[in-house]
Amino acid sequence: MDEKNTQKTCLSESDRSVVLSMKAVAQSKTISKDWLVCRLLEIFYILSFFAFTYQYNINILYASLLFVFIPRQRNKPILIGALAILILLVVPYFIIHDSRASYRIAKTLAVFMPLFFMPVLERTRYRLSSFFHVFMVVNAWLVYIDFFLFFTTGRTIMHFTTTGILPRPCGLIEDSNFFSYLMVVYCIYRKRVTGLYSKFLLGSVVLSGSLSAVLMMLFLLLFYKVYKISELCARWRYVLGTALCISFYFCIVLFSENIVDYIRQLDVNELVKFKSVSMILRLQTQHEALMYLLNHDPLCGVGAGLTTQLMTKGINLHNGYLQLFFEMGALLLVPTIILIVSSMVFMRDAFYIPLFCVLLILGNILDIVYFPLLSFVFFISFTPSVSQIFVSDARSNVAHDLHR
C-alpha cells in the first residue's frame, strides 16, 4: 500500500510539474505576442508622425494589418459598440458620398486603434523603445540645425514655413505645429518615466516657432509643478471643463461676425496684427462652414475632402472637430466623440489627463483628430512611471531574496 501511495504521489507531483511547465510556456507565448503587438503599435505611431508616410497614408495601410488582432481582445462594451457603428457606416457613406468617405471611416478606426488593444496594454505596461527616442532626438537636431542655417545661409535641410521673420522648422514631421505638440507630449512622457525633463528637446519646441505650443508647454510645466498626482484623479472635472472650453469656442465661431469686427478695430503692434489676421481668417472660414452645414446635411456631411472647394477662401478649417462634422456629419462625429471620451476614461495613468485635455482644446485650432496625438497619449499612459518602476524592482528584489 505504501509503495502504491508513493507511486501515486510521484505521479501527481510529476503531472503537476508538467501542468506548471505548460502554463509557463503558454504565459511566455502570451507575453511575447503582447510585446509584439505593442511594438507594432509603436511603429504605427512613427509612421503616423513621419511626414512621408503620413502624407501618403502608409500608416493607415499598415494599421489595417493590425486589425486581425482585434477579435482576440476582450474589449469594453462601449468600444465594441463604437467599432460596430463605424463598420456599419462604411457602405452607407460609400452610397451617399464616395470611396473617400468610406476611407475616412477606416482612417478613424486606425487612429484610435490602441483603444481596442487595451487588454494587451494592461498586461504589458509597454515602454517606448530607444528607436522612438532616436526618432525624436533626430527631429530635434534637425530643428536646431535648420534654425541656425536659416539665419546664417538662408537655406534649410528640411522643408519649412515662416511666420513673419521667424522660421517654422519641423524636422521629419508634416507640420511645425504637429512637431511642437508631439515634442511637448514626448517631453512630458520622459519626465514621467525618468523623472527629468530634457532641456534639449524642450528647446526645440521654442525654436519651432509655434506660439500655441510654447504656451502649452509653459502651462503644463507649471501645472505639473504645482499640482500633485493625487489631485489628478477626478476625471469628470477635466471632462466637463474640456467640454465647456470646446463649447465656448464653438459659440465664438457662431457669433464670430461681431468678434471679427471688434478685432479689426484694435490698435496693436505688427506681430499681433499678423496673428490676428490669421485668426480672423480662420474664424470667418469656420463660421461659413458651420452655417453651410446646418443649412444642408448635418447628419451625413458634405463629403470627404470637399472643404476647400466649398469654402470662399479655399482653405481648410483648422479645427479638427468642425472639419470632421462638416465633411462627414454627425453620424461619424458621434462615434468619434465616444472614442475620444473613452480614451480619457480608460486612461491608466491620471498624470496624462491634463495633457490630454489641453490637446483636446487645441483641436479647435488644428486637426488633432487624424494626427494621432490623442491616441498616442492614451498609449503611453499604460507605461509605468519612474516611481512605479522603482517599487516594482524593489519588490522583485525582495521576492528574489526570500526565494533564496
In the predicted model, is pLDDT for residue 231 greater than 60?
no
Distance, in Å, from the CA atom of 74 to the CA atom of 188, rounded to the nearest integer, reads 30
Give CA angle at 189 (224, 171), nearest 5°: 115
pLDDT of res. 25: 45
Listed range (31-35, 223-227, 392-396) with the worst mean pLDDT:
392-396
Q: How many helices (DSSP H) and strands (DSSP E) are in the chain?
A: 19, 2
% residues pLDDT > 90 (the chain):
39
Q: Write down the pTM of the prediction.
A: 0.85
pLDDT by residue (tens digit) across 106-159?
999 899 988 988 888 988 889 999 999 999 999 999 999 999 999 888 888 887
Radius of gyration of the chain (CA): 25
pLDDT band for position 370 (50/70/90)? confident
User: What band does 400 get if pLDDT is binned at 50, 70 and 90?
Assistant: very low
- Return d(Cα 341, Cα 343) in angstroms, integer: 5
Beta bridge partners of 80: none
**How much is the mean pLDDT over the chain?**
82
Give the confidence band of 391 by pLDDT, cuts at 50, 70, 90.
Answer: very low
Residue 334 has pLDDT above 80, yes or no: yes
pLDDT above 80: residue 193: yes
Residue 390 pLDDT greater than 60, yes or no: no
Q: What is the pLDDT of residues 200-224, one digit of tens each?
A: 999 999 998 888 899 999 999 998 8
325, pLDDT greater than 90: yes
Quick count: other Cβ atoms within 10 Å of Cβ 297?
A: 14
More confident residue, 74 or 143: 143
DSSP letters, 281-341, are HHHHHHHHHHHHHHTS-TTT-S-TT-HHHHSTT----S-HHHHHHHHH-HHHHHHHHHHHH
